[in-house]
């Protein structure tokens, strides 16, 4: 089968289309013929080995996983003897980041717990845009941010992959949502139902003296002091993306702020979870959320897709058709 393989950390040019052995599913695995995948920030970390701390999980000197790619959607081709949830012909989607990656390929053999049935109203490309970004948005707000109906929520970086899902998921929880984005993305946030939109090229989110119950930092380079000022007492700031410096601030200074004030600040890493995939499937099928796709690339054009993605201006998700 065809797969994208890389043997060293580096720029997108290290990714090569290669013929590799088609996997055979083990007893608890499902063999999926992959129709689409998508690019996430985690894929960029896996590609470059940056920040360096990530190498303790992904391989210190060279990549531990030779085929990158987390999000997938496709059709079940075969199942192991212990698989109970799926059968050949089922259309599925899932996240392989917790079971060895391998999504940028024509086939993958994965544990059944990494998959869910694909939302019936979505194409394979749309479904592939959901798992990592959608689950990140859900877990960061529900589990870390303790989101509640009626709360005021600010999402900084609201027009990217995680951000577009976060706006919609926050609305599904009954929150009043403010999205921060650039001028060219205002229309997207309006279409997604954001209650208020701040164009960061025209004003800072701290300029209006508004305070929020929950702030999600998906992108940006603001100092933690800006977020702290914009939080209500007992408010929560969750860092899920942005500059590397901001990540370390959230892990260190955020811990100190959380211990010495009523405001809570910290970072968050998504954990693949089948139950959350199923939860998102229900939101997708009822029309409460929908994926936003910026661009689509073929598998052999993956390096170009990464070059575009790492610029940081994608409107929603970058999808790979296989």
CA atoms within 13 A on the CB side of 316: 22
Helix (H) / strand (E) element for 93: namely strand 91-95
pLDDT tens-place string over residues 206-229: 888 899 999 999 986 788 889 999
Assign 119 to helix, strand or coil: coil
Classified as helix, coil or strand, 107 is strand
Torsion sign (Cα): 123, 128, 130, 135: positive
pLDDT tens for the chain, 322 residues long, are 999 999 999 999 999 999 999 999 999 999 999 999 999 988 888 888 887 878 888 888 899 999 999 999 999 999 999 999 999 999 999 999 999 999 999 999 999 999 999 999 999 999 999 999 999 999 999 999 999 999 999 999 999 999 999 999 999 999 999 999 999 999 999 999 999 999 999 999 988 889 999 999 998 678 888 999 999 999 999 999 766 666 667 777 767 777 778 899 888 888 999 999 999 999 999 999 999 999 999 999 999 999 999 988 899 999 999 9
Q: Write the DSSP symbol of residue 193.
A: T
So what's the pLDDT on residue 243? 63
User: CB 209: neighbour CB atoms within 10 A?
Assistant: 7
**Structure confidence by residue, pLDDT tens digits, 127-150:** 999 999 999 999 999 999 999 999
pTM of the model: 0.94
One DSSP character per residue, 207-255 reads: TT---EEEEEE-S----HHHHHHTEEEEEEEEE-SS-HHHHHHHHHHHH
Asked if residue 79 lies in contact with residue 88, where contact means CB atoms within 8 angstroms, the answer is yes
Which pLDDT score, from 0 to 100, does residue 242 have?
Answer: 66
- Residues sharing a CB contact under 8 Å with residue 252, sequence separation 6 or more, in sequence order: none
């Amino acid at each position: 089968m065809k797969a994208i393989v890389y043997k060293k950390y580096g720029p997108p040019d290290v990714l090569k289309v290669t013929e590799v052995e088609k996997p055979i599913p083990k007893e608890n695995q499902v063999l999926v013929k992959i129709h689409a995948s998508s690019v996430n920030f985690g894929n960029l970390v896996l590609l470059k080995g940056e920040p360096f701390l990530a190498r303790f999980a992904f391989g210190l000197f060279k990549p531990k996983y030779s085929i990158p790619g987390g999000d997938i959607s496709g059709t079940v081709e075969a199942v192991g003897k212990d698989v109970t949830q799926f059968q050949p012909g089922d259309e599925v989607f899932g996240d392989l980041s917790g079971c060895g990656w391998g999504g940028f390929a024509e086939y993958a053999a994965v544990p059944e717990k990494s998959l869910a049935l694909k939302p019936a109203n979505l194409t394979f490309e749309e479904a592939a845009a959901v798992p990592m970004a959608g689950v990140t948005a859900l877990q960061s707000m529900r589990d870390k941010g303790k989101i509640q109906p009626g709360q005021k929520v600010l999402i900084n970086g609201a027009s990217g992959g995680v951000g577009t899902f976060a706006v919609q998921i926050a609305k599904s929880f009954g929150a009043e949502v403010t999205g921060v984005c650039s001028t060219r993305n205002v229309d997207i946030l309006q279409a997604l139902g954001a209650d208020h939109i701040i164009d960061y090229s025209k004003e800072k989110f701290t300029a209006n003296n508004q305070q929020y119950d929950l702030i999600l930092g998906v992108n940006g380079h603001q100092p933690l002091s800006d977020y702290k000022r914009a939080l209500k007492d007992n408010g929560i700031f969750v860092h899920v993306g942005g500059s590397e410096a901001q990540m370390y601030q959230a892990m260190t200074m955020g811990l100190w702020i959380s211990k010495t004030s009523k405001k809570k600040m910290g970072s968050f890493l998504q954990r693949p979870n089948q139950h959350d995939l199923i939860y998102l499937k229900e939101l997708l099928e009822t029309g409460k959320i929908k994926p936003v796709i910026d661009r689509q690339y073929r598998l052999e054009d993956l390096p170009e897709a990464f070059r575009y993605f790492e610029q940081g201006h994608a409107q929603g998700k970058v999808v790979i058709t296989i």
